[in-house]
Structure 1
Amino acid sequence: MLKVKKIGILGAGKSGIAAANLAVKLGYEVFISDSEKKRFVKNLNAKVVKEFGGHSDEILNSDIIIKSPGICGDIDILKKAKKKKIKILSDLEFSLNNSKYKKIIAITGTNGKTTTTDLTAKIIKSAYKDSIVTGNIGFPLSDKALKTTKNTIITMELSSYQLEDTPEFRPDISVLLNVTPDHLEHHKTMANYIKAKENVFVNQKQKDFAIINYDDKICRKLADKTKAKVIFFSRGFLKKGVFYDNGNVIIKIDKEVKIKPKINIVGMHNVENILAAAAAAYCAGVAPAIIEKVISSYKGVEHRIEYVRSVGGVAYYNDSKSTNVDSARVALESFDKNILLIMGGRDKGAPYTPLKKLIKDRVKTIYLVGESAGKIRKDLPLSCCENCGDIQTAVKKISAAAKSGDVVLFSPACASFDQFNNFEERGQKFKKLVKAL
């Protein structure tokens, strides 16, 4: 007989549904609660009892509550649960408790997580057939937890939402790419956001590896928070670590190894992502020749400075995954000049002023869309702003104004939820419009 009989799930999104289905397979009674009235639920086990449009006290009859990432820990129903001393777990912690594995590689950072995780997972898969990629990329771990084995290597992309609820999490290899302001509407302060990111390595032991961006001042400072063996990576020379030198990736950990991969993805930020992936794979025991081969064949991830097509000498790039100011900065730094920039969406609380110089030096015109247009115009009081309202209008105006040699960059610097369900839907809309030109 299970000591825990009833499990409550807060949030009926992708990870919540996966956790609910796993709990049913494990023999628990499961109740799922979602705040949205009209939530399209797909593939939820018929045995799960569900409610929508708010969280009733019914969930307080649970022995354990599994909180989906993104739900604030201070909502009323969770306050009541804490008063009743009901154990609250993240979906990640619940799935890991019911998984088997040989190693966990956990990757986080404000930007570059998906590209780095995708590339790392492809390298790992080339060397170890029993491997999966999960977290914010691929599928929730709960979907595959019961199929894992003692030889499985799990590569996971983790957001600050997931990490804030896993204070006991301990991967074998952690990767911290960068830390810049993001999700402040959720975390409230930068200090809270940084503390969530720290959870990727604070519990690691001396035999573990923490791969950290030396070029990011916050990351470099956070290196003191872990007991793991710190492996720095950098665009510039390092006496020890992983760095980039004239087209070569130099790995100086236990010995010096040089690989010279062909790099197919745009921007120096992607060099950082490649360095981090190479370091993680090397620490996981992958041979340098395999690392070089996979990097050389890697074409990147959809919606990340993704080349769409050229029309009349004008190149169009889809960077819909740019959901914060720093990711837009990275995209702008990838092109020298003649940029026609589409920006806007749902504001996330950070100022747009850090983009002012880059826009002045490289951007011909900004085409503003979405809810944040007014704030962007206020933060960037430039004569080159045009209000468009939506992407369709922006693309129409751009197609009439663009000249051969221009670069059209759709890098919103905002969340998508004012006009779209997610950044993927937003990116697909942009690509559809461009392909119809």
Structure 2
Amino acid sequence: MKSNDLFKGKRILVLGLAKSGEAAARLLHKLGAFVVVNDAKPYEENEQAKELEELGIEVVCGHHPLSLLEEKLDLIVKNPGIPYSNPIIHEAIHRGLSVVTEVEIASLISEAEIVAITGSNGKTTTTTLIYEMVKNSKREPLIAGNIGTVACEVAEKAKSNQVMVLEVSSFQLIGTEQFKPKVSVFLNLFDAHLDYHGTKEEYSLAKAKITANQSKEDYLVYNIDDPTVCKIANESRASLIPFSVKQKLTKGFWIQEGSIYYNDQPIISLDSIVLPGAHNLENILAAMGAAITLGARLPQIEHVLQTFSGVEHRLQFVTEYKDRRFYNDSKATNILASQKALEAFEQPIVLLAGGLDRGNDFDELLPSLNNVKALITFGETKEKLAKTATEANVETIVYADGMEEAVLAAFEHSDAGDVILLSPACASWDQYRTFEERGRRFVDAVKNLETTLQS
């Protein structure tokens, strides 16, 4: 951790606990700041707040009183999940107070250089690939952010001979001011989280912050096939490393005649890759761009491509039962992610989908439903998804109340040789706390299917 007095003696309000808020509060307290923590959960039920109070940190629980702004504040660190429409955030910005997320704090105190990965889809897979590819190189990778340990906790212990591989969301990036990764990776941009950002333009502006402070000495690995990403890259001051799965490039990473090319030279055969799905080629090219920039060796990269078969909840193969193959893609929390999952298979698909209603329809999913023989739908969006499936001439549409019922219905409407795919196209929060919980419920239901069928 960099030794500095950046936060010493400063009065800082941490809004919202969860993992990131607690980590930020502990770190700032250790760095000599006067920290006040404000969390919506009542004090009596709030073990995190009680632990922080024992450290000498002031806690205010149960609501977000505007009176907290009456004390002179130097900074507000906001939990990414708290929307900017929240009255205390809205008023703080109106008063000209600086409001950041904990990744900003992490970036300011980290001795290790940061490679930051963002995009609407593929972040977790790409982050994991980079982490694995950089292993056994000159610098030890540390994984952080949405995929691993909170960024503050990793940054506090990181050394200059290491590199922090950080998955960052738009929720985190919007709350950055000086965030400056050595390497940024921008995968794609799709209409997502509009309930939080309001418009795609605001969502795009939040994502663009990943490269906003980069200079010529830094690098931006970007998807040249995505027009919005391309526009952001063209406005960046970083050194650009493009990748493409659609076109030949004179610089960067691209595909031709069964090989991955780097700067006009074939370096790895596509036959080396075991990760399923054409969409994962984008993630692989992006990861290679970042890894090689960070000094990863080609044999290590090839080893990863020969052995890495995916991450949990992202097109994760669960099992084969009675000649049906089950896949858990619970991390597909938007339409584009589900489109890519559906396009990864040639076999007939029984699709399990549905979840939180963010106000969008599912017309964009229509072209990807050609191979879907049955839809098992649940959650707040089940009527909308059923409407889209009807328009796509999906033969069978079934409503389910829970994951166990959905898995059983999926099996009953499948045949030998089919793929049974959980790819919800929606966030999980209407029924489950996280997409991980939803995915685990699916996996458990699949593993218990034989018992369920016999009962």
Q: TM-score, normalised by structure 2?
A: 0.90
CA distance in 1, matches of 2:102, 2:386: 39
Q: 8 Å contact 1:15–1:91 — kept in the other structure?
A: yes
Matched, 1:142 2:147: no
Q: Is residue 402 of structure 2 the alignment partner of residue 390 of structure 1?
A: yes
* Residue aligning to 2:452: none
Q: In the alignment, is residue 174 of structure 1 matched against residue 204 of structure 2? A: no
* Per-residue deviation, residues 5-53 of structure 1 (Å, max 9, x unmatched): 4321111111111111111222333222223446664995432333333
Deviation at 1:162, TM superposition (A): 0.9
Q: Secondary structure at the match of 1:301?
A: coil
Residues 181 and 43 (structure 1 numbering): CA distance in 2 closer, same or farther, change over 3 Å? farther
**Residues 140 and 408 (structure 1 numbering): CA distance in 2 closer, same or farther, change over 3 Å?**
same
1:23-172 counterparts in 2 under 5 A?
Answer: 23-37=28-42, 41=48, 44-45=51-52, 46-47=54-55, 48-57=57-66, 59-60=68-69, 61=71, 62-101=73-112, 103-172=113-182
Query: Is 1:353–1:380's contact at 8 Å kept on the other side of the alignment?
Result: no
Alpha-carbon displacement from aligned partner over 1:112-167 (angstroms, at most 9, x marks no partner) = 00000011011122214533111111111211222122222111111011111114
Task: Write the letter of the residue equivalent to 1:374.
Answer: E
Out of 25, 32, 48, the residue aligned to residue 20 of structure 1 is 25
Within the alignment, does 1:258 sit opposite 2:267 as a pair? yes
Q: Given the alignment of the two structures, is residue 416 of structure 1 paired with residue 424 of structure 2, yes or no?
A: no
Structure 1: 5+ residue runs without aligned partners?
Answer: none
CA contact (8 A) 2:15 2:39 kept: yes
Could you tell me which of 393, 398, 404 is aligned with 2:416? 404
* Matched length: 433
User: Following the alignment from structure 1 to structure 2, what is the Cα–Cα distance between the partners of residues 43 and 22?
Assistant: 16
How far did residue 85 of structure 1 move?
Answer: 4.4
Q: Which moved more, 1:364-373 or 1:200-209?
A: 200-209
Distance in 2 between the 1:83 and 1:338 partners? Answer: 54
Tell me whether 1:367 sits opposite 2:372 in the alignment: no
- SS of structure 1 residue aligned to 2:306: helix
Aligned 8 A contact 1:181 1:350 in 2: no
Gaps of 5+ in 2: 450-455
Deviates further, 175-184 or 202-211: 202-211
SS at match of 1:226: coil
Q: Give the counterpart of 2:309 among 289, 293, 299.
A: 299
Contact between 2:374 and 2:413, CA under 8 Å: does it hold in 1? no
Whole-angstrom distance in 2 between the partners of 1:341 and 1:43: 44
Q: Tell me if the contact between 2:347 and 2:417 (Cα under 8 Å) persists in the aligned partners.
A: no
- Letter of the aligned partner of 2:231 in structure 1? K
8 A Cα contact 1:325 1:350, kept in partner: no
What is the root-mean-square deviation of aligned Cα atoms in Å? 2.1
Q: Aligned residue for 1:376?
A: 385
Taking the aligned partners of 1:357 and 1:84, their CA distance within structure 2 comes to 47
Q: 2:352 aligns with which of 342, 354, 357?
A: 342
User: CA deviation digits over 1:324-374, x for unaligned, max 9?
Assistant: 011010000001241000010102333211111221x20001011111112
Contact 2:126–2:286, Cα closer than 8 Å, also in 1: yes
Report the counterpart of residue 283 of structure 1 in structure 2.
Answer: 293
Counterparts of 2:8 and 2:244 in 1: how far apart (Å)? 49
Identity of aligned residues (%): 36
Task: State the SS of the aligned residue for 1:54.
Answer: coil
- Residue 240 of structure 1 pairs with residue 251 of structure 2: yes
Q: Equivalent residue of 1:366, what SS?
A: strand
Q: TM-score if structure 1 supplies the norm length?
A: 0.93
1:67-126 residue CA offsets vs partner (Å, 9 max, x unmatched): 12122223211233345544322211112222212x221111000000000110111222
> Which deviations, in whole Å up to 9, do the C-alpha atoms of 1:295-349 show, x marking residues without a partner?
2221211000101011110111000001001101000000124100001010233
